[in-house]
Homo-oligomer: A and B are copies of this chain.
Amino acid sequence: MEIKIVKDVMEENEALAKNVRERLRAGGQSMFNIMSSPGSGKTAILEKLIPIIQSRGYRVAVIEGDITTSNDADRLTPLNIPVALINTDSWGGDCHLGSNVILGAMDLLESEIADIFLIENVGNLVCPAEFDTGADSNIVLISVTEGEDKPLKYPLMFRVSSLAVINKMDIAEFLETDVPLIKRNILQINPEMKVLEASAKKDLGLGEIADWIVERHLSLKG
């Protein structure tokens, strides 16, 4: 019985995710869903990545998911872009964003104001992977502080993503992190994954992430 209900929720989520994508295509827009553990650096990456995407001529809006607080959304204020904040504690502290709230956020943002939407999902390597947000592509961040085996232990997250960003590369050497092993573990789970290295703190690798997003955006726009 429980399984039946989970399936219903999932089916509704899939249907609404399809709506999100139809709306994106109609507007010549695209959406990217960024996921990771808490503290891997999603907001720090966004702070540096968004100006680069803007400098290439694209308008960016952000959908911020957090259980509670506006900490992450506040950090994006200096960018002066449209941000929709979703606090999931109003419906029980959900550990992910569903496609229903993404549709709501698109309404809130008046969706024509952006070319590229970036979702910062709730910090979590499990549940966000299970729920299609309606985004065109999923991006997973992993920090060099988290241990090399995370792709093997949280495989669904790495299976549903198209781009993996290994963040905090500036401290990899100090921590003696085996970065090639992280890459091998990612590719073992998802051989199609594009893997990029970055450091939001030291401005490394952000141009490549922007390239990847813009290229996808253009191919989706057709």
- Would you call A153 an interface residue if the criterion is a C-beta within 8 Å of the partner chain's C-beta atoms? yes
Contact indicator B155/A68 (Cβ below 8 Å): yes
Contact indicator B2/A153 (Cβ below 8 Å): no
Complex alpha-carbon distance, A152 and B74, angstroms: 14
Contact indicator B95/A127 (Cβ below 8 Å): yes
- Would you call A9 an interface residue if the criterion is a C-beta within 8 Å of the partner chain's C-beta atoms? yes
**Stretch from A23-31, A140-148, A210-218 contacting the other chain:** A140-148
**Stretch from A53-61, A101-109, A117-125 contacting the other chain:** A117-125
Contact indicator A69/B153 (Cβ below 8 Å): yes
- Would you call A180 an interface residue if the criterion is a C-beta within 8 Å of the partner chain's C-beta atoms? no
Contact indicator B71/A153 (Cβ below 8 Å): yes
- Would you call A86 an interface residue if the criterion is a C-beta within 8 Å of the partner chain's C-beta atoms? no
Complex alpha-carbon distance, A147 and B92, angstroms: 24
Contact indicator B95/A153 (Cβ below 8 Å): no
Chain B residue contacts of A146, Cβ below 8 A: 37-39, 145
Contact indicator A153/B38 (Cβ below 8 Å): yes
Contact indicator A153/B123 (Cβ below 8 Å): yes
- Would you call A15 an interface residue if the criterion is a C-beta within 8 Å of the partner chain's C-beta atoms? no
Residues of A131-165 whose CB lies within 8 A of B: 143, 145-147, 149-150, 152-156
- Would you call A67 an interface residue if the criterion is a C-beta within 8 Å of the partner chain's C-beta atoms? yes
Complex alpha-carbon distance, A23 and B168, angstroms: 45
Q: Which of A3, A126, A127 has the most CB of B within 10 A?
A: A126
7 contacts between A and B (CB under 8 A): A37-B38, A39-B145, A66-B153, A67-B126, A69-B149, A93-B130, A93-B156
